[in-house]
Amino acid sequence: MIKFVPQLINVFATLILLLSFAMISQRRIVSLINLFTIQGAALVAASVLLGYVTNQSDLYISAALTLVLKVIFIPWMLHRVIRKLNVRWDVETLINIPTTMLVGIALVIFSFSLALPISRLSHTMAGGSLGIALACVLLSFMMMITRSKAVPQVIGFLSMENGLIFAATSVTNGMPMIVEFGVALDVLVGVLILGVFMFQIREKFDSLDIRNLEALKED
């Protein structure tokens, strides 16, 4: 069983990367949330596998936090928000989808080139997945800056945090638990603040397009 774990971790790592690509090309809000949920589940599975092989209980706790926050609570809250705000439109992008995909491919190539020297120095089982983790971070950041709506930007921020956790897991077999809890709390508080932020934008402008914030300039 143990000898197949590296291959399984690479499978989940590839799935996380493919889901990041799917999210940058996705226009439907509900589908975007569902893809984020699946990405969180893949991250949970990879953490559990690494915890099983390395016998590090911290990774199990990290997987549990990700499961509760990223797979259950935050997707439920986002679905609830879009139902309350009656958000049923397609996601607008600042650049077209084909160009976004080409830029995404370039970011993946750059990530693997940048991570290769570090991966060679890593002796962990999933050290070779650092390039995938960095690519997920950059793709999520690109999604944040190419979307004009608040909800996709929130999902991009959360997906970027998934990439950072996977990077820490793949290179160092996990972060200290105090850091894990701190990150989890920051993410939860950040999502709650962004939820309030979205409601305020909708109440003020009857839209979640953040470009409307330009109207808040002082007279």
- The whole-number pLDDT of residue 131 equals 82
- The whole-number pLDDT of residue 169 equals 76
- Split at pLDDT 50, 70, 90, the class of 4 is low
pTM over 0.85: no
Please check whether residue 163 is in contact with residue 143, taking contact to mean a CB–CB distance below 8 angstroms.
Answer: no
Span 121-132, mean pLDDT?
Answer: 65
Please check whether residue 160 is in contact with residue 151, taking contact to mean a CB–CB distance below 8 angstroms.
Answer: no
The percent of residues above 70 in pLDDT, for the chain, comes to 66
Q: Which of 5-9, 129-133, 180-184 has the lowest mean pLDDT?
A: 180-184
Q: Which residues, listed in sequence order, are joined to residue 90 by a DSSP beta bridge?
A: 28
